[in-house]
Amino acid sequence: MSGGSKLCGGLLQAGLVRERRWQAVAVQTGSLAGRGSRFLKRAWIPLVLVVVLAVSALVVSRLHKIFGSQDLNANAGQGIEIVQFNPKVVVYEVSGTPGATASINYWDADANTHQVDAAPLPWSLTISTTLPSVSANIMAQTDGSQIHCRITVDGVVREEKSSDGVNPQTFCLVKSA
């Protein structure tokens, strides 16, 4: 039995050596697996984000091919009828003491200023424009005793003012006609 126990002891030792070798291999591979698991613990959120973005881009691309494939500008401008509209008519009027003259400043349709010196009263000016909006402004001063200004847009009086005294001055303003 002593020979058998040697044999058994030798086998046991050989088994222990093998087991230790496998443990050493397991420890080495386990440490590599530990590194990999640490990497995954840190990088799983960015990896999931990259995958989600890639899948989302693919889905959007496919849906765009299905729903956004028609050309929205193919018939642009066809069948649109341009309707003529009436132009705006702005009338400036200045009146005052009969026989008096006035110095008048006004805006044209493009808001450029113009001056008329020694204009005999009553005075008027008609401006016609196709602009969607016009600002109208007139200022007048007379050498008489009273002055009156009026701005009419398309036949409707929009602003009217009067002043009297020595060399009176007045103004009328329509911000949006």
Partnered with residue 92 across adjacent β-strands are: 125, 151
- Helix H, strand E, coil C: the string for 36-102 is HHHHHHHHHHHHHHHHHHHHHHHHHHHHHHHHCCCCCCCCCCCCCCCCCCCCEEEEEEEEECCCCEE
Average pLDDT, the chain: 82
Answer whether residue 106 shows pLDDT above 80.
yes
Answer whether residue 6 shows pLDDT above 80.
no
pLDDT in tens, 31-57: 555 566 777 778 888 889 999 999 999
Which uninterrupted H or E stretch holds 3? Answer: helix 2-67
As a whole number, mean pLDDT of residues 82-109 equals 90
- Of 29-38, 71-80, 115-124, 144-153, the poorest mean pLDDT is in 29-38
* CATH placement of domain 88-174: 2.60.40.2880
Please report the pLDDT score of residue 40 as a whole number. 74
Confidence class for position 177, pLDDT limits 50, 70, 90: confident
Please report the pLDDT score of residue 118 as a whole number. 93
Which uninterrupted H or E stretch holds 142? Answer: strand 136-142
Q: In the sheet where 113-120 sits, what is the strand order? A: 113-120, 101-107, 136-142, 169-174
| Residue (of 45, 43, 30, 126) closest to 87 by Cα position | 126
Answer whether residue 84 shows pLDDT above 80.
no
Terminal Cα distance for the chain, rounded: 125
As a whole number, mean pLDDT of residues 70-91 equals 75
Letter for the amino acid at 2?
A: S
> Encoding tokens for residue 19?
């087991």
Answer whether residue 69 shows pLDDT above 70.
no
